[in-house]
Amino acid sequence: MVVTLGMAKGGVWKSTLAMNIAGVLANQNHSVCIVDSDPRETCNNNVRRRNEYNERQRSQGKPTVPEIHCQIKRPEDSLNKHLEKLDEDFDYVIVDTGGYENKAFKSAVAVSDLIYLPFFPCTDDMDNLVPTLNVIVETEGYIRNVYPDEHIDARLIVTGADHNSKDLLVEALEFSRDLLPYASISSAVIQRVKKVVTIKDDGLTLADIKHPKRSMFELLVDEINGKREVKYQREMVTEE
Query: For the segment 201-230, what is each residue's pLDDT rounded down to a tens digit?
Result: 999 999 999 999 999 999 999 999 999 999
Q: Domain residue spans in the chain?
A: 2-224
pLDDT band at 235 (very low <50, low <70, confident <90, very high): confident
- CA separation, residue 182 to residues 41, 110, 123, 141, 149 (Å): 29, 15, 19, 12, 15
Buried-exposed string 54-76: b where 16+ CB fall within 10 A, e elsewhere: beeeeeeeeeebbebbbeebeee
Question: Which CATH entry fits the domain spanning 2-224: 2.40.50.140, 3.40.50.300, 3.40.50.740, 3.40.1030.10?
Answer: 3.40.50.300
In degrees, rounded to 5, the angle at the alpha carbon of residue 40 between the alpha carbons of residues 42 and 70 is: 45
pLDDT at 96: 95
> 52 or 148: whose pLDDT is higher?
52
Query: For the segment 145-190, what is each residue's pLDDT rounded down to a tens digit?
Result: 887 888 899 999 988 777 665 566 677 677 777 888 899 999 898 9
Specify the pTM: 0.92
Average model confidence (pLDDT) across the chain:
89
Cβ neighbourhood burial of 145 (10 Å; 0-12, 13-18, 19+): exposed
> 58 or 130: whose pLDDT is higher?
58
The whole-angstrom separation of Cα 93 and Cα 84 is: 10
